[in-house]
Structure 1
Amino acid sequence: MGWKKIDDNTYQYDEEGVRFFLVIGKAKALLIDSGMQTRNAKELAQEITELPIGLFNTHTDIDHIGSNDEFDEVMINPAELVNYDKSYTWQNIIPVYDGDVINLGERELVAIALPGHTPGSTGLLDKDSGAFFSGDLIQDGRIFMFGPMRNMSAYIHSLKRLKQHAPDIKNIYPCHGTCPVEFSIVDKLIDGAIRVEKGEVTSEKAELFGQTISVYYIGAATFLGN
């Protein structure tokens, strides 16, 4: 575990199986997610920058909010609040909607809502560098699509909608799997998800978190479904 430099003002922190990011502007910095095992992401970020540090959650599954209690306020797509840990009622929630811009001072991040993996899953596109921080739904690892609030049809729609941003995206930085990945994976995920939804992919049964799930290998990634 530890910080890995992407460029002079962008870093990723890798835990076992999950990562979060630090994006630095001229006026302030932003953590994109806050890890799972890590409980001091803000403190770790302060090793990199002296600027004020905010927090944005791509979504609020437990492996993305490990250090959220370090922050008095957090930026989240409001559709994700149904999925957020109810013990954080004391926090100030700053709503971030599709198309909103987070300005860090000469560095702007555009929010792109991508529901499906969770209701409020949202990625951030760095307008200047073309880096897209995608959360969980774009990756070459295991994509969780089982349990409540997961929706494969919404997932497919989100990826198709993301293609309109293809000219602006140079690399995709997921929270799981290989990092970065190329935009070409999006078409492969769409194709695989459609085949899963149509029943054209044979699944294997597995046990995870005390429940039986279906595992769909689509080549580019693996979907874990009901």
Structure 2
Amino acid sequence: MNTIVDPWFTVTELDPKTFAISEYGHWEKVHSFLLLGKEKAALIDTGLGIDHIKRITDQLTDLPIIVLTTHVHADHIGSHGEFDTIYVHQDDADWLINGIKGLSLDQIRKDMSRDITRPVPKSFNPHTYRPFQGIPDKVLVDGDIIHLGKRDLAIYHTPGHSPGHISIFDQPTGYLFTGDLFYAETPIYAFYPSTNPVDLVNSLERIAQIKGVSKIYGGHNQLGLESTTLFDALEGVQYLREHNLHRHGTGIHSFNSFSVQF
């Protein structure tokens, strides 16, 4: 791959057919991921929508792109409108069609516009910013397999952060894309009224039991976690359950490689 130099996006080649597209100029440090198959490509999330991510994907592939939505929050669906084919889990489909629940538009705009460290394009206006809304082309359920051509992606329903949150297991490489279920450096958010701490803990346990994981790629912060961090997830699950802490209002709980806020 020729190095892509861009004022807003940072592109990292994870392997010759897998790319992280990161937005380090924003405090959320969001990652989207482009996975190339033989016949199609999958774009896992589309970022903040501050700038146009299709400018980057056009430089990386000419394959038709399926957008796989890990969950319907503004920082993961920002450039959905730039693509023709969008998939979302059935339990987040209403949020995509009718608007995100649990966060006001005013709060979303504040979060989108604060603590930005790189120049933003003139097209970005935080005062008029609105999260994408639209009808998905396919509604996903747990156990679905997305065929890209010599590359199959398994869909795991991992609710908690949102009702229809999914994790995506790239079977050929062992990469596990966890969206906002599991990442490092800042707490995993499970304190919104629309989050479910019990579901989130159950989902952490579930991904920790997936066999063959070689690397974990969350939606924020550090790019790539070792598969051994799943042992930390299991230990965290056990501790939270034993002490009845997986409920709203119990605060931030820190473990070896991650933390969670209820």
Residue 83 of structure 1: CA displacement?
Answer: 3.5
Spell out the pairing of 1:31-180 with structure 2 (5 A cutoff): 31-84=43-96, 86=98, 90-141=134-185, 142-166=187-211, 168-180=212-224
Structure 1 partner of 2:22: 14
User: Partners of 1:109 and 1:132 in 2: how far apart?
Assistant: 10
TM-score norm. by structure 2 comes to 0.74
Unaligned stretches of 5+ in structure 2? 1-8, 100-131
SS of match in other structure, 1:76: strand
User: Partners of 1:186 and 1:196 in 2: how far apart?
Assistant: 15
Residue 89 of structure 1: CA displacement?
Answer: 5.3
User: Partners of 1:92 and 1:157 in 2: how far apart?
Assistant: 27
Please identify, of 7-16 and 172-181, the stretch whose mean Cα deviation from structure 2 is larger. 172-181
Matched, 1:26 2:38: yes
Matched, 1:215 2:260: no
* One-letter amino acid of the counterpart of residue 162, structure 1: I
TM-score norm. by structure 1 comes to 0.85
User: Partners of 1:165 and 1:9 in 2: how far apart?
Assistant: 22
Q: What's the C-alpha RMSD, in Å, of the aligned pairs?
A: 2.3
User: Partners of 1:187 and 1:149 in 2: how far apart?
Assistant: 27
* Structure-2 change in CA distance of 1:140 and 1:110 (3 Å): same
User: Partners of 1:35 and 1:217 in 2: how far apart?
Assistant: 27
Superposed CA offset, 1:116-154 (max 9, x none): 111111111111111111111111132011112211211
Larger strand proportion, structure 1 or 2?
1
